[in-house]
Homo-oligomer: A and B are copies of this chain.
Amino acid sequence: MSASQKFGRILFGGDYNPEQWPKEVWYQDMQLLTKADINEATINVFSWAQLQPSEERYDFSTLDQIIELLTENHFEIVLATSTAALPAWMAERYPDVTRTDFEGRHHRFGGRHNACPNSPTFRYYSQKLAAKLSERYGHLRNIVCWHISNEYGGQCYCDNCAAAFRVWLKRQYKTLDAVNAAWNTHFWGHTFYDWSEIFPPNDLGDAIGYDNSTLAGLSIDYRRFMSDSILQNYKDERQAIRRFDPETPITTNLMGTFKDLDYFKWAKEMDLVSWDNYPAYNTPSSFTAMTHDLMRGLKNGDPFMLMEQTPSQQNWQPYNSLKRPGQMRAMSYQAMAHGADTIQFFQLRQSKGATEKFHGAVISHADTDQTRVFHETAALGHELAQLGGDILGARTQAKVALIFDWENYWALEYASGPNIRLKYVDQIQQYYAAFYRQNIAVDLIPTDLSAAALAKYDLVVAPVLYMVKPGVAENLTTYVKNGGHFLTTFMSGLVDRNDNVFIGGYPGPLRELLGVWVEEFDALPPEKHGQVIFTDQSTYECELICDIMHLEGAQALAHYGAGEFYAETPVVTNHQVGQGRAYYVGTQLAAAGIDHLVGQLIDQFDWEHFTTPANVEITCRQQADARYYFVINNGPAQETLAWPYQGTDLLNQQTVAPGEITLPSYGVKLVKVAK
């Protein structure tokens, strides 16, 4: 159960941090926020120093007052545990709580997200605080969600972490021989003969900058270990909360494709997923859509909370452009379209000082409701209040799945060669975008689904499936044999979970499924492009990497054009296996080329899809009895499109008939169509 479902309406609120203001401001806030139909506040995100002013003393008096005020004013509360920033006294008294950085420097006090995850002091006191909070507030009916810490991430390379890493390794590998084999330490004579010889891979050890390493296996394992260590911090606090509050959902806010943490692993420990959406001024809407879908995918399609977005502008981007009139609304509905049941802002009131003081807020420094941003927020609040809760819990029904895997992400980007421009998220995004352009629903899924779980999809796409972990090839093969379709690309099937290459010909365990053998891959510098010619003679550019391959049962769908020694050799292939097919794309196709390929796939399936102008997306969530179509203009110009169904626009209660419909700049229709 998501926090919002509990209440039959969409949660609409955000981060609220009144401690820096006098009381009279609080009362004014309550009036303004109520006026905007805001019904929820996330509080206590960075208050540890206030709650525990010294090692010996806790002081909940201010928090008591804030909760009381919110409760009296009928707000729901997302209660954070405040452990994302250490109190200064703790850093001074217990140096183990701060981190040692990639350069090997132990930090003094500063910043946030600054706790060493393996610090005994941090672990003790963070649990203690979470327990105290739960004991004191966990019984309150309007605490709708616990929010542990905030935007977890980062790494530590201190001696405590080194020691914990060795314990983690022993648990994973049992013996040093197994470690040496896993990391192929023999290469460059790195064989370890004692656990104590193993160090975290930072600038003083085996790392080569942030994104390369003498022993990629070590670096990947350190990322696994760090993700696990920080997850343990989360679990520590969760357990502490559960001592006094057995029920209220617990979350922490994630950050889309953020590299540091294996969110699929994390999501298993979270009652609901929440996340912070901060696109840059030029982030394509397809990227934002993908991250929403990824967040929804973390818990197998469960609705999520949009924990943070700015109502107007950010402050920490290079260029913090304003959201245009209507754009905040459109982006809020985009979040809902892709699975959000909660719309929150960072922040309800703009801070008066420190680093984020120019980050937008519902109540700005102008301290009034007479602002564009307040008006737009209030209008959205009213709209959502009228909408009620019918849509809560509605689900996406996708026939296409896209695999996203953090371990693969790490491994691919630690790989030395063949091309430094190869980036994991870019690779995933370009395939996502091709489906998005056709308004085809996509689920983002982990790499370890069973063939049975995959069976509901017509197509599973796994770009750069570089690391193939145990069982994955088998699952995919069974899935295809049973009628599924699978598509993967260059740089797939190369290494096992320890980053050791599958010997015997690329793409390793996927070779039989794909029916191709990739003998070599050429790397293209940025100034160089190749040509891909499909069997229908349509021709597209390619770049980055060009596989040179042999057909072993697959059919060529496209071959390279003239100009290189591998001209005329196959580059896009299709392999019939059992009832299904396996596709392979041996190069970085230009977007139009991927569109062409996706077009061929659409022709095979009865996927619901829509042709829309570039800035318009149509996305569907479904309840048992109805489909909810979000028709969103993500751009600043008016757009016209063809619409096929009879339905009702829930935002204005007007009937929408099949035919041409027009959306103003950043306009939205939410059309309910009966099943």
User: Taking beta carbons and an 8 Å cutoff, which residues of A are in contact with B?
Assistant: 17, 19-20, 46-50, 53-54, 82, 85-89, 91-92, 103-112, 183-194, 196-199, 201, 203-208, 212-217, 281-282, 312-322, 324-325, 350-359, 364-368, 371-373, 415-420, 495, 498-506, 517, 519-526, 548, 565
Beyond A111-B206, A322-B522, whether A355 also contacts B212 by CB under 8 A is yes
The main secondary structure of chain A at its interface with chain B is loop
Cβ–Cβ contact B520 & A353, under 8 A = no
- Distance of A637 Cα from B367 Cα, bound (Å): 57
- Distance of A81 Cα from B593 Cα, bound (Å): 52
A368: B residues at CB distance < 8 A: 505
- The minimal Cβ–Cβ distance linking A95 to chain B, given in whole angstroms, is 11
Beyond A354-B183, A366-B505, A523-B319, whether A88 also contacts B191 by CB under 8 A is yes
- Distance of A531 Cα from B79 Cα, bound (Å): 46
- Distance of A371 Cα from B215 Cα, bound (Å): 28
- Distance of A197 Cα from B98 Cα, bound (Å): 13
Query: Taking CB as reference atom, which chain B residue is nearest A50?
Result: B191
Contact of A109 among B104, B197, B315, B503 (CB under 8 A): B197
Query: Taking CB as reference atom, which chain B residue is nearest A57?
Result: B193
Cβ–Cβ contact B418 & A315, under 8 A = yes
Cβ–Cβ contact B418 & A313, under 8 A = yes
> Can you offer 21 A-B residue contacts whose CB atoms are under 8 A?
A46-B187, A48-B189, A49-B185, A50-B186, A86-B189, A87-B191, A91-B197, A109-B205, A111-B214, A217-B354, A281-B525, A282-B525, A313-B417, A319-B523, A320-B417, A321-B522, A353-B498, A358-B417, A366-B517, A371-B520, A372-B548
- The minimal Cβ–Cβ distance linking A392 to chain B, given in whole angstroms, is 33
A365: B residues at CB distance < 8 A: 501-506
- Distance of A195 Cα from B208 Cα, bound (Å): 36
Cβ–Cβ contact A353 & B109, under 8 A = no
A197: B residues at CB distance < 8 A: 88-89, 91-92, 109
- Distance of A520 Cα from B416 Cα, bound (Å): 46
- The minimal Cβ–Cβ distance linking A16 to chain B, given in whole angstroms, is 13
Contact of A199 among B110, B192, B198, B321 (CB under 8 A): B110
Cβ–Cβ contact B110 & A205, under 8 A = yes
- The minimal Cβ–Cβ distance linking A377 to chain B, given in whole angstroms, is 14
A320: B residues at CB distance < 8 A: 417-419, 523
Query: Taking CB as reference atom, which chain B residue is nearest A194?
Result: B89
A184: B residues at CB distance < 8 A: 20, 351-354, 357
- The minimal Cβ–Cβ distance linking A177 to chain B, given in whole angstroms, is 12
A103: B residues at CB distance < 8 A: 103, 105
- The minimal Cβ–Cβ distance linking A207 to chain B, given in whole angstroms, is 7
Beyond A188-B46, A281-B525, A372-B519, whether A355 also contacts B416 by CB under 8 A is yes
Cβ–Cβ contact B313 & A199, under 8 A = no
Beyond A187-B20, A190-B88, A199-B110, whether A417 also contacts B214 by CB under 8 A is no
- Distance of A186 Cα from B88 Cα, bound (Å): 11
Assuming A47-B189, A107-B204, A109-B205, what are 18 further A-B pairs, CB within 8 angstroms?
A20-B184, A20-B186, A46-B188, A53-B191, A54-B193, A85-B188, A88-B197, A110-B201, A111-B188, A111-B206, A188-B355, A215-B355, A216-B354, A313-B418, A313-B523, A319-B419, A322-B521, A368-B505
- Distance of A418 Cα from B356 Cα, bound (Å): 10
Contact of A190 among B85, B92, B193, B314 (CB under 8 A): B85
- A89, A188, A350: which has the most chain B beta carbons within 10 Å? A188
A417: B residues at CB distance < 8 A: 313-317, 320, 358-359
Query: Taking CB as reference atom, which chain B residue is nearest A505?
Result: B366
Query: Taking CB as reference atom, which chain B residue is nearest A360?
Result: B520
- Distance of A25 Cα from B47 Cα, bound (Å): 61
- The minimal Cβ–Cβ distance linking A129 to chain B, given in whole angstroms, is 11
- A47, A506, A525: which has the most chain B beta carbons within 10 Å? A525
Cβ–Cβ contact A565 & B324, under 8 A = yes
Cβ–Cβ contact B46 & A189, under 8 A = yes
- Distance of A503 Cα from B505 Cα, bound (Å): 66
A418: B residues at CB distance < 8 A: 313, 315, 319-320, 358
A185: B residues at CB distance < 8 A: 49, 354
- Distance of A105 Cα from B103 Cα, bound (Å): 9
Cβ–Cβ contact A108 & B199, under 8 A = yes
- The minimal Cβ–Cβ distance linking A273 to chain B, given in whole angstroms, is 24
Query: Taking CB as reference atom, which chain B residue is nearest A419?
Result: B319
A191: B residues at CB distance < 8 A: 49-50, 53, 87-88
Contact of A501 among B282, B321, B357 (CB under 8 A): B357
Cβ–Cβ contact A501 & B355, under 8 A = no
A312: B residues at CB distance < 8 A: 520
A48: B residues at CB distance < 8 A: 189
- The minimal Cβ–Cβ distance linking A524 to chain B, given in whole angstroms, is 7
- Distance of A88 Cα from B166 Cα, bound (Å): 15
A324: B residues at CB distance < 8 A: 565
- Distance of A86 Cα from B192 Cα, bound (Å): 11
- A19, A183, A217, A503: which has the most chain B beta carbons within 10 Å? A503
- Distance of A350 Cα from B521 Cα, bound (Å): 15
- Distance of A499 Cα from B353 Cα, bound (Å): 6
- The minimal Cβ–Cβ distance linking A290 to chain B, given in whole angstroms, is 22
A107: B residues at CB distance < 8 A: 204-205
A89: B residues at CB distance < 8 A: 193-194, 197
- A213, A214, A355, A358: which has the most chain B beta carbons within 10 Å? A355
A313: B residues at CB distance < 8 A: 417-418, 520, 522-523
- Distance of A184 Cα from B351 Cα, bound (Å): 9
A205: B residues at CB distance < 8 A: 107-110
A519: B residues at CB distance < 8 A: 364, 366, 371-372
A204: B residues at CB distance < 8 A: 105-108, 110
